[in-house]
Every structure is written in structure tokens, then in C-alpha cells.
Structure 1
Amino acid sequence: MKKQILLMIGLASLMMLLTGCTEVSQPITKESTGIWNSYIVYPLSWLIITISELLGNNFGLGIIVVTLLVRFVLLPLMIKQTKNSKAMQALQPEMKQLKDKYPSKDAATQQKLQQETMALFTKYNVNPLAGCFPLIIQMPILIGFYHAISRTREIAEHNFLWFDLGSPDPIYVLPIVAGITTFIQQKITMAGMNSNPQMATQMTMMLYIMPVMIMIFAFKFPAALALYWVVGNIFMIIQTWIIKGPDMKKIAAESAGGAKKK
């Protein structure tokens, strides 16, 4: 969890660097050169324009549809991440036993602890880094959306509902909703995860840091990007609820049963 927090901050910093230092003012076209432009920014720009034109030149709806398409493409990875998180949670008792077995902090003991922990992960086919993969994959897409929106005149010059897609939301509704939906999504994801006090503290940090960071970015960036965040978060909330729903209901029922016995 601590590594995830550091990775998230690092990726966010990279995002700020890329959005500030790359050719944001250069229009994106089919003739744009470079791997970044050719394989990420231009395809996203083309896809948004094409779908928007099919929807009667409604670029807001086009961004919503493309966001859902991206989420469906990432769905298998997100399902795998959720299952991996559940498996990691199930391993916590055995991992605690290993820590109790090797309490010493000397290098030899810690190496033995690490070896047996990795053997435990291998035995149950659990990848401790799987939680970082969605962040790593989504960040280029997020930055690509920013460039596609900022560098495509057709997108930046259109409006949707009360806001211009190429400018920040003037009344800050989208940034606030983006922050709230991020919080809800994180809360549902963490529901039912019984962790040790240190890990629980780190999870709580994630729960509050992530929404604040998203809101700060959304206040500054084009409203189209905030729209992408909101739609993506709502999709993730529904997806996580469907995947974790049975477990959450079971936990709620067990809690209710325990309360009645008391």
C-alpha cells in the first residue's frame, strides 16, 4: 500500500511534468510525428471526433462514449486486480504468521522472511504488484486524453451542458463531483478489507489523498478531462459493486448477526 501511494504521487508528478513541458500548444493531426503522438494522442483524438460526429457533433457525448469504451477495454485488468486484492487479503493471516516466525530485523532473517513470503505468493498465484498495474496503464491514457482534448480544435471549441470542453468548469461542479466519486469508488474498493493498523492507516491516506489530488487537477484542467474522470469513476463504482457486492453483503450480514448476539 505504501508503494502504491508513492507510485501514485510519482505518476501524478510525471503527469504535471508532461502536461506542462510537452507540445500542448501544437495541434494534433494525422501528420504529427513521434510515438506518443502517433500511438496515443492522435488515436484518442480521432476516436473522440469520429464518435462525436456519429452522435450529431456532440463532443460531450463523444467523450462519454470513448470513456466507457476505454473502461470496457480495461475491465479484464480491473477484475483481475480486484480478485488479486481479495487473494492478498486472504493471505494476511499466513503473512502475519511468517512475520511472527521471523521477528528479528537482521539482514539474514529479513531475507528468509522475504523468500518465504514470495513462496507464499507463488503458491497461491498472487502478484503483490498487481494493484499498481492499473495506475501505470491508466496514467498514459489520462495524459493522452488531456493532449487529445487540448490539441484538437474540434474538441476544445465545443461546449457541453454548462461548460466549454476545452476550459476548466466555470462553476466547479465537475471537479467536486470528480472528487466525491473518486472517494466513493475508493471507499467501496476498500470495504471489507481487514488490515493491520499500519496498513489501515496507509489505506486511509489513499482514501483521502486521491480524491483531493483529482479535484486539484480537475480545477485546473479542461472540463472534458473532468468529465472523463466523473464518467470513469461512476463506471468503476458500478463495476466494483458488482464484483464485490456478494462479499460486502456477506460481511454486512455477519456484522448484523454479531450485533444481534451482543
Structure 2
Amino acid sequence: MRKKLLLLTGLLGVVLLLSGCTEIDQDITAESEGIWNSFFVWPLSRLIVMVAEFFQADYGYGLAIVLVTILIRLILLPLNIKQVKSSRAMQEIQPELQKLREKYSSKDQQTQQKLQQETMQLFQKHGANPLAGCLPIIVQMPILLAFYHAISRTSELDGHHFLWFQLDNPDPYYILPVLTAAFTFLQQKLMMSGMPKSDNPMMAQMSMMLYIMPIMIGVFAIFFPAALALYWVVGNIFMILQTLLVTNPLRNKGNETAGGTKK
């Protein structure tokens, strides 16, 4: 877990360095320099504009954000499925991992070697790999962050409306921030549904993030342009449907309940 956290932290640092976070207020153009701008942000920005111009209407840019968000999520779907299954497998064996740590709590070298051996056997038995979820994240993070930059820095979005809001201004009625927070909460709740709650050391942290993350995202959406909030809402809805289709936590929870009743 620690190695995975260090890997992801290093990855985030590299992505932020490439992205040039100080350019978030600068419009993206064909003259924008750097690998990040030329090969990530600019192509996505042009894709948004091309899709919007196809509809030839004021609402075209809002619709383009919706469609491109769905397109990107579909492209990343195989990686997302791999990540979700890997994460769930690791979470399901957390109680057994905790028992092994308690069994081999001594810090001497022989005991720690025994702990590593039985831990690897446990991973092999359940088909779990603590690093299997890293590759999908490594691929996804630059793409999603580039799309975020593309929406933020595409000047063509300015002045266009979609539904009840203007894309380059915050939602005046706070509907999008509420939806963003609500769908973020629902997505995380579904991910946690059906996971073993007893003897799971990760459950306390996940329960805390279940409430903190939606609040944070919702507050950001209050002040950010509505185009970004729209992107978050559509992305979260897609992830909710993906969770229901891939892991079907509601069915799993029902099966566990039925099994417990039967006993």
C-alpha cells in the first residue's frame, strides 16, 4: 500500500510538472508551447470545438462537453474496469491481511519474511495485485487532467449557454454544484457497497472520504466555471453506471443479505 501511494504521489507530481499549472488562466492556442499543451490540451480543445461546430447552435459547446466526456470515459472504460476489479479484490482481502499482520507482528527479519510469504500466497489465492490498479491510473490521470485544462482554457466556450447556465460563469442557481456533490457521494457509496465492513482497516478512512470528497468537489463547483461542473456531473454519472454494470454492488449486497438470512 505504501509503495502504491508513493508511486501515485510521484506520478501526480510529474503530471503537474508537465501540465504547467500556472498556465490554467492562459487560453490554449496553436502557438502554446510545450509537450503538455501541444499533444494533450490542444487536441482535446480542438475536439470540443469541432463537435460544437457540428451542431451550429449556442448550446453546441455544452453538448460537446457532454459528448466528449462520454467518449473519453468510453475509451478509458477497459482500464477503469481493470482498476475497479483490482481495487475491490484488494479491499475484500483487507480483513485477512490484517489478521496476518497481527499474527506476525514481531519486527525480526524471520517473522517479516514469513509475513511477506503468506501475504503473497494470499494475493495469489484471490488473484489480487496491489500494483495492478496503478497502470490504469497512470494512463487516465494525464488524459483527464488534460481534458480539464482544455475546458478551462478554450476561449470559444466563453459566452455560450447550455440549459440554464453560461459555460464560462459559475452556475447562478447552484444546481450543478449540488448535483456534482450528490453524484460524487453516490459513486463512492456504490463503490463501498458490498465491501466487508468488519475487520477492514480501510473502512474508517473510506467512510470519512465518503463525506469529505463530495463537499470539496461541490464547493469547488460553486466557484469554478459551469463548464467544469458539467464535466464533473457527466463523468460521475458515467462512473456510477460503470460501477453498477461492472461490480453490481447492489446485487452483491442483496446476495450477502440473503445468505445471512438463510443462515
TM-score, scaled to structure 1: 0.82
Deviations 1:76-118 (A, max 9, x none): 0111112213332453464345324312244653354235424
Match of 1:233 in 2: 236
Q: 1:219 to 1:105 in 2, by over 3 A?
A: farther
Letter in 2 for 1:70: I
Alpha-carbon RMSD: 3.4
The number of equivalent residue pairs is 260
Letter in 2 for 1:144: A
Q: 1:221 to 1:136 in 2, by over 3 A?
A: farther
Q: 1:134 to 1:42 in 2, by over 3 A?
A: same
Letter in 2 for 1:42: W
Letter in 2 for 1:28: I
Q: Does 1:199 align with 2:207?
A: no
Partner SS, residue 202 of structure 2: helix
Percent identity over the alignment is 58
Match of 1:51 in 2: 51
Match of 1:210 in 2: 213
Letter in 2 for 1:24: I
Letter in 2 for 1:206: M
Counterpart Cα distance in 2 of 1:228 and 1:52: 15
Q: Does 1:221 align with 2:224?
A: yes
Letter in 2 for 1:188: L
- Deviating beyond 6 angstroms after TM superposition, the runs of 4 or more aligned structure 1 residues are 1-20
Match of 1:91 in 2: 93
CA contact (8 A) 2:170 2:224 kept: yes
* Equivalent residues in 2 for 1:101-112, closer than 5 Å: 101-106=103-108, 109-112=111-114
Counterpart Cα distance in 2 of 1:14 and 1:212: 27
Letter in 1 for 2:246: I
TM-score, scaled to structure 2: 0.82
Q: CA deviation at 1:121?
A: 2.8
* Equivalent residues in 2 for 1:70-85, closer than 5 Å: 70-85=72-87
CA contact (8 A) 1:182 1:233 kept: yes
Partner SS, residue 106 of structure 2: coil
Counterpart Cα distance in 1 of 2:136 and 2:165: 30
CA contact (8 A) 1:27 1:151 kept: yes
